[in-house]
Structure 1
């Protein structure tokens, strides 16, 4: 009769499991520390201050839901700022993905001078946001800008761009499309990774250009498109610098030390939720209301991202 294999004593097994857990925690500790310091604590502090009256000078005092009621019900700028932010998310992210994919397709098919065009399309992305915005406002200046002068020479009515509430947000979209180099590079890498054999097989089966893109290219680059959409939504939800600088330059008010910048020019058309957070928290010292706005923006970003990541949306197949 065979003897049963020797088993480890229970205390030894517990010590082994403890060592394995400590080893795992040691490898995870850099991420855990960074997550706690830079995300967990700020998030909990934001929730805490959203129920407080705090002007950054006196000690915070508990006010219950007063900040939430004020922001969601009585703040006149909250609705326009939220609408502008969501408008930019829908329009800017959609056009950036389409435009970036189109430029990527174009550059990957160029036979002569491909390096030059890749560099030309990527260089604007390297410009600092403030510098790029200043240059764009100069180009689209309704009085002296070269774009309007060229349109006038062609007999085309020239818009007021950043000085017109109806054109201010489309002008910001044009600015974002000018710096499309980041998405172009990402889509180029995805497109060049599609196996050529699949294109050749589809062409032998009689598939045209659109059919090859639909049945060969699109399934291969779908995860990259999802990545571009999700990261674009998160970035646009935090849209701040370009809108603030463009509105201020277009209004003719100089930006310098000691100057108080009221965002949203013209007529609140470029006011976004991050600008409103900064204005409330650091200009008006209403930290509680600013924290409420931050939490609302965080909740919307998480909801939109979760919706996009659902497989039932059709962007991701079951095997992705």
Structure 2
């Protein structure tokens, strides 16, 4: 090594290298693509949120003497959680695989906790709905409805923890705000179902839930995208933009007092917006797993930040 070369190195000159391309061996992604079926798991995310928030709305309707609203919410919770379980089992392949998850309870595993949560929550919603329709065993039905309402917020949000507890970049990096996004989305879905199915005179709580849920969903989602940086790019897709527009317009209509027809339009928009959000979040995560840059670039940025802190 010449003296001139040593002096140049001492001045801190850096070698010039070509800009990195984000590819992997044989063109395969850095991460394995999630093998979950889109219709099954995105539908499971949507229906679980609808069920949990509907149980909370049903308890509020009973407490304020709105029996028609309470019945719609109870039936919605029971139907949604039953369909949600059906989609989950369909994705697993056979019912025995879901039952196998109940052989142990692992508090550190969102999947294990979620399985036990659904196993306890689903019978409560079915009992509450069945006793309401039959008009018998009302004391048992009220106890079941109240218990379902206690578990409802957890049922609405635990799926956000479930998908964020993975290596998928756009899911994992959203772990702080995603439960709040799902809470708002579940609230708008439950309110939308109530506006479609309940008499207009009893939908006051549903209208308020729609406005508050939309504010929480849209606000938390925008905060999440600002904080995430590069891994927020997959969330800038048409489906999620449509979800935000549907939710905002549905909440605006729900805030206006009107007859059955405007309420039904608002409810349909809220249901569609909530479903679009869950499907959009699912597809955004899959897209981030398939593109190596969403794994490589944030890792390099974190390493650089740690090096600066160490210096």
TM-score range normalised by the length of the shorter chain: under 0.3
Structure having the larger proportion of residues in helix: 2
* TM norm structure 1: 0.26
Higher relative contact order (Cα pairs below 8 Å, separated by 6+ residues): 1
* Structure with bigger gyration radius: 1
* TM norm structure 2: 0.26
